[in-house]
Amino acid sequence: MAQTAPARRPSRSGAERPSPASVEILDIAFHRADLSNPKGRTKAERDRHRAELKVVRSAATVIRLLQAETRRFRRPPLTDFERALIARRFGEGTLDRSLTRVGRAVDRIRGLQRDSERAVHHAAGADELGVEVRRFYGRMASHVREIDADLARLKQLDRFREDRPRLDPNAPTLVVAGFPNVGKSSLVARLSSAHPKVADYPFTTLAIAVGHADLGFDRWQVLDTPGVLGRSHRANPAEAEARTAVERAASVVLFVLDPTPGAEPPLEEQEELLARWKRELPGRPILEVETKADLFRRPGSERLHVSSATGEGLDELWERIRGIWSSMPRPERLPEEEDAPEDEERPRAGAYRGRHAAR
């Protein structure tokens, strides 16, 4: 079916803005229902079939469009990491509540359809058929309008999800984390296929980005995360995403520190964040590296020194990552995704052939 442009309506300022999702869904459903052209030996028979078809077609179209709004979160199902990102940004349970309300509306429309089919079947004459169809349209429209806020929220959540990388839960993941402007993105660019934006000012990375790197037989996902500022209770959305990646996606965390004199924040503050993460994330493999080795090497430091500019230390870095990974127990591999059978209700064969309704 050809896609139609979203209906628009003028705002108070005179500019056009998209109409609620219910307007578009109902417009499509009622238009499809009006296209019915049933056959029958008499006018009375054609009127009844037209009324039946209007009920069935409009309900089927609305149900299909509503299910399309929820299916994107179920097939393939969201990963644990995606769910955690959504929950941290929009609130725990926000997605499930909207999915539940849309699903409840679908169930109500199905029940309403069954009741209306029976009423149409027993209606006497064109006028009564028209009354039953209009009553069905009104009640169905009410159910759809009640979930406008949920449909809008699902679209917002889907846009948010589409702007974030979809990770393979079965692949090992290296999460590169640390304060802003310590060299994370440059390091990610040298370690993987990612091409993050690199600049000499903080907060260049505003959202998670992913690249890939082959390490022996393993294909690693390498995540570049926004910089964190060490604020445990005042994290902005970008910092919250970085923390979520460390907590929910990382096989190994690569914590990057900038030891150069005059680094902002100073190394002492970076060390404080590292120590806090070690306390709060016990058992999480955290590999510490000091960057910008081509500019400065801190005397006496036992950490690995690397340089994204020259490539110094990168081979040894991968060897250390390999060593950590080889010593870790392997998680149980998740089963491959399978498409679930379609859940859409199809018109029943038999009883009402031809099906559509009187205007």
Domain boundary among the residues 163, 192, 215 is at: 163
Would 263 be classed as within a structural domain? yes
Would 10 be classed as within a structural domain? no
Domain boundary among the residues 163, 193, 221 is at: 163
* CATH number of the domain where residue 295 is located: 3.40.50.300
Same domain, yes or no: 87 and 156: yes
Same domain, yes or no: 29 and 51: yes
SS3 assignment for 311-358: CCCHHHHHHHHHHHHHCCCCCCCCCCCCCCCCCCCCCCCCCCCCCEEC
Same domain, yes or no: 156 and 177: no
Domain boundary among the residues 107, 136, 163 is at: 163
Would 244 be classed as within a structural domain? yes
Same domain, yes or no: 139 and 103: yes
Instruction: Spell out the per-residue pLDDT of the chain, length 359, in tens.
Output: 334 444 445 544 454 555 789 999 999 999 999 987 877 789 989 999 999 999 999 999 999 999 999 999 988 888 888 999 999 889 999 999 999 999 999 999 999 999 999 999 999 999 999 999 999 999 999 999 999 999 999 999 999 988 887 888 888 999 999 888 888 888 888 888 755 444 344 434 446 778 888 877 788 988 888 777 655 555 577 778 888 888 888 899 999 999 999 988 899 999 998 999 899 888 889 999 999 999 999 998 999 999 999 999 999 999 999 899 888 876 666 555 444 444 443 433 333 333 333 33
**Which residue type is seen at 269?**
E
How far apart (Å, rounded) are the C-alpha atoms in residues 50 and 353? 10
Single out the residue of 110, 111, 54, 126 nearest to residue 354, CA to CA.
54
Same domain, yes or no: 246 and 298: yes
Single out the residue of 58, 133, 95, 99 nearest to residue 345, CA to CA.
58
Domain interval for residue 193: 173-326
Would 4 be classed as within a structural domain? no
Would 112 be classed as within a structural domain? yes
Same domain, yes or no: 145 and 27: yes
The total domain count for the chain is 2
How many other C-beta atoms lie within 10 A of the C-beta of residue 178?
Answer: 25
Same domain, yes or no: 132 and 181: no
Same domain, yes or no: 103 and 220: no
What's the confidence (pLDDT) of residue 74?
A: 87
Would 354 be classed as within a structural domain? no
Spatial contact of 255 and 225, defined as CB atoms under 8 Å apart: no
Would 271 be classed as within a structural domain? yes
Would 333 be classed as within a structural domain? no
* CATH number of the domain where residue 78 is located: 1.20.120.1190
Same domain, yes or no: 178 and 277: yes
Same domain, yes or no: 274 and 140: no
Same domain, yes or no: 52 and 197: no
Same domain, yes or no: 144 and 244: no
